[in-house]
Amino acid sequence: MEKLLLLGDEAIAQAAIDAGLSGIFGYPGTPSTEIIEYIQASKEAKQKNIRSSWASNEKTAMEAALGMSYAGKRAMFTCKHVGMNVAADPFMNSAITGVNGGLVYISADDPSMHSSQDEQDSRYYAFWAKIPILEPSNQQEAYDMIHEAFELSEKFRIPVMLRITTRLAHSRAGVVIRQDKREQNQIGIPENPKQFILLPVNARRQYKELLAKQEGLEEASTKSVFNHYYEGENKSIGIIACGLSFNYLMENFTQTKCTYPILKITQYPIPTEMVKKLYQECDSILVLEEGQPLFEEKLKGFLNNGKKIMGRLDGTLSIDGELNPAKVGKALGLKVSEGLPVPELVAPRPPKLCEGCPHADTYRALNEAVADFSKGRVFADIGCYTLGALPPYNAINTTVDMGASITMAKGASEAGFQPAIAVIGDSTFTHSGMTGLLDCVVDNTPVTIIILDNSITAMTGSQKSSATGRIESICEGIGVAKEHIRVITPLKKFHEENVRIMKEEIAYQGVSVIIPRRECLVWLNKKRKEEKQRQKQQE
Amino acid sequence: MKIDIILCGVGGMGALSSAAIISQAALEMGMYMKQAETHGMAQRGGDVQSHLRLSDKEIASDLIPDGQCDIIISVEPMEALRYLPFLNKEEGWVITNENPFINIPNYPEKEEVLAEVRKVKNSIVFNADKIALDLGNPKGTNMVVLGAASKYLKIDLEKLENAVRSIFGKKGDAVVMANINALRAGREVADKI
Ligand SMILES: Cc1ncc(C[n+]2csc(CCOP(=O)(O)OP(=O)(O)O)c2C)c(N)n1
Ligand code: SF4
């Protein structure tokens, strides 16, 4: 028996390797990033020729994974929860096409928004698309469920979602690894040549097939080893514990036994019969779920005229934020232990741009270049440079979703609010800024777009950026006039010159692009270290 | 036996490598463990923390429940205070370096911070930076603090030293010995109390 100490993310990656994965596709995003990084670093994956480089965005990644499934191979897709929004189109439609080789989508949610702009619950997407979900409660289950997910996917010819949250993704525990590793699938296209041609005539038939699969999928949930009914003699409350919340429940019963019946749910669709049994047996129901109250809403229904259902909707648990042992204990009316309060003098320590970060020099120049205009003109995006919203820079006015800088600047400019300036990172630009730039070019909208080229996707821990070495040619290809693509070096010694160039381009009544180019320092250090190590190994 | 530990500090101060060393030692001892980390934006001077749970029985939650942490090990005094809601207020220990890491404009007065730490029933606040510096290992503060904490960890110092050997072995003997010496120097501080 081999036991490895693995992050939840790593357990998923190792499981996929062991389950005969041929390729993994994704775009970085906390807390999902380590899944693909693990495969990129794995010697075993290299030997097995598993493809694993980063995609430009979640949509391209998911479509490529679907293509690999079409060709008969097992494929996996990873993203952070908001990546599901970007991939929503292929996601919904791949439920209709169904799969050929096993296809597993991993979405990593971030309740409490440790490093995200919202706390959307990916299970809603899976319910919407009518595909099964596996929601592991610990690292071992995450490992085992990947095997099950591929089996389910191939048996029902449907994509399967594995939904995790930050606590599982970024927590380590011992995981028992299987010794019988599965071979990769052979190439083979779908038997039905129309399966992937979603003309309405085919799509209608495919959709009926998807609906017809539901009964079998629910039966699989009912029989699943991952869903479990724990009998209990105290029927005053029946507890439904989804995914990770099961652990928080159990943490409250380390000294005593839980006498309430518990239904542990980690596989969906919801196994109706198991829920009915609990509902009939108990006087009231408490629903514990990490994320939004999906299960609770379903159980309550629109009119809520049945038994008392407690959870996030009725205030027994807070409607937002992640769960923890104390919240769950209090929901059950248990006495929970308390520590000491945080002394008032403790100040928050928000993250900030590294000392010497290229973005800092860009913001210093930009602040000076726009000083003569009224405030509120800088539409920014998501990345390290979002920290420019904080003091001492106070340099940006919006951050909404990846790519929104360019398009929001466009809309504001079209409202007559000129000059309008967009600030976008290099990786974010190739993720979803290019089409917005095309819109600007087509309409010749007066905007100044600053593409911060630090050679890397820094925010998520230095992943290769699809933009590196291509930004000028992309902008030119899209139609930005060559003389309005200006490359500057964000360093103190060029400050005056950089301010001057920014002012010139801001004054230009058309589309202009400024590219401040200097490497991220964290990346630079990493590269140097790796280089040193390589030299040492050669010696 | 169970030990619930919070390791904390500011990104880049080595709080997470201390966690790795304890984990390695616990693994050698055949204990169950769970270790939850904050990842993500740590390289930019934000606060970092790790919940490390060890037990001879299976562990349910990845997070330590409020009021049940046995020991907070911190390389920075204000950071130690941030996690007090997790501390077992009767039996828990706070072991921390005394020198503030000031990268925010509103950092409170050092003496007030230290006074708050001393209000905790069981605490050791000491100048781990100086000990590390005197040893010629200015980056060894985290090891010095870990050494002091080892007295209350229910894990033998020797086991931690072995963990240092296995984790830093690749970097050569000099690195291993520098870290072990820092651990021992920290332990001496705790033993004298
Ligand atoms: C749809 C979506 N996918 C992924 C993320 C996670 N994420 C936030 S910023 C970012 C990349 C930032 O890279 P870049 O634009 O190059 O800026 P840098 O951090 O290097 O300054 C990523 C992957 C997200 N917030 N939204
Ligand atoms: S990680 Fe790189 S891009 Fe991010 S703040 Fe630090 S130097 Fe700047």
What structural domains does chain A harbor? Answer: 2-220 (3.40.50.970), 228-331 (3.40.50), 358-523 (3.40.50.970)
pLDDT band for position B39 (50/70/90)?
low
Q: Does B68 touch chain A (CB under 8 A)?
A: yes
Domain map (residue ranges) of chain B = 2-192
The answer to whether A123 and A111 have CB atoms below 8 angstroms apart is no
* Window A:293-332, CB contacts with B under 8 Å: 324-326, 329
Identify the nearest ligand to the CA of A387 by its number: 2
Q: Report the residue from A249, A345, A348 with minimal CB separation from B113.
A: A345
How far is CA B104 from each of CA A8, A352, A390, rounded to the nearest angstrom? 33, 10, 12
Position A13 pLDDT exceeds 60: yes
A24-38 average pLDDT score: 97
* Predicted pLDDT of residue B159: 94
What is the Cα–Cα distance from A438 to A442, expressed in whole angstroms? 6
pLDDT band for position A532 (50/70/90)?
confident
Q: A468-488, pLDDT tens digit by residue?
A: 999 999 999 999 999 999 999
Length of chain B: 193
Position A256 pLDDT exceeds 80: yes
Looking at residue A226, the DSSP 8-state letter turns out to be: T
A318-340 average pLDDT score: 96
Position A144 pLDDT exceeds 90: yes
* Predicted pLDDT of residue A1: 73
B131-156 average pLDDT score: 94
Who lines ligand 2 at CB under 6 A? A 353-354, 357, 359, 384, 454, 458, 520-522; B 43-44
What is the residue-wise DSSP string for chain B? Answer: -EEEEEEEEETTSSHHHHHHHHHHHHHHTT-EEEEEE--SSGGGT-EEEEEEEEESS----SSPPTT-BSEEEESSHHHHHHTGGGB-TTT-EEEEE------STTPPPHHHHHHHHHHSSEEEEE-HHHHHHHTT-GGGHHHHHHHHHGGGTTS-HHHHHHHHHHHHGGG-HHHHHHHHHHHHHHHHHHHH-
Q: A425-445, pLDDT tens digit by residue?
A: 999 999 999 999 999 999 999
Interstrand relation of A421-425 and A447-452 (parallel, antiparallel or unpaired): parallel
Position B12 pLDDT exceeds 90: no
Nearest CA to ligand 1 atom 1: A83
pLDDT band for position A217 (50/70/90)?
very high
pLDDT band for position A537 (50/70/90)?
confident
Q: Does A338 touch chain B (CB under 8 A)?
A: yes
Q: Does B90 touch chain A (CB under 8 A)?
A: no
Name the residue type at position B192: K
* Predicted pLDDT of residue B113: 97
Position A504 pLDDT exceeds 60: yes
* Predicted pLDDT of residue B40: 52
* Predicted pLDDT of residue A507: 97
Pocket-testing residue among A125, A385, A459, ligand 1, by greatest number of atoms within 8 A of Cβ: A459
ipTM of the complex: 0.94
* Predicted pLDDT of residue A535: 86
Chain A CB contacts of B35 below 8 Å: 171-173
Position B43 pLDDT exceeds 80: no
**From the CA of A525, how far away is ligand 1's center (Å)?**
20
Residue A535, SS3 per DSSP: helix
Domain B2-192's class? alpha beta
pLDDT band for position B41 (50/70/90)?
low
Range of lowest pLDDT (A288-302, A448-462, B5-19, B175-189): B5-19
- Provide the mean pLDDT of chain A: 96
Q: B37 or A144: whose pLDDT is higher?
A: A144
Q: A512-524, pLDDT tens digit by residue?
A: 999 999 999 999 9
pLDDT band for position B46 (50/70/90)?
confident
Q: A101 or B20: whose pLDDT is higher?
A: A101
pLDDT band for position B38 (50/70/90)?
confident
What is the Cα–Cα distance from A87 to A430, expressed in whole angstroms? 15
Q: Does B100 touch chain A (CB under 8 A)?
A: no
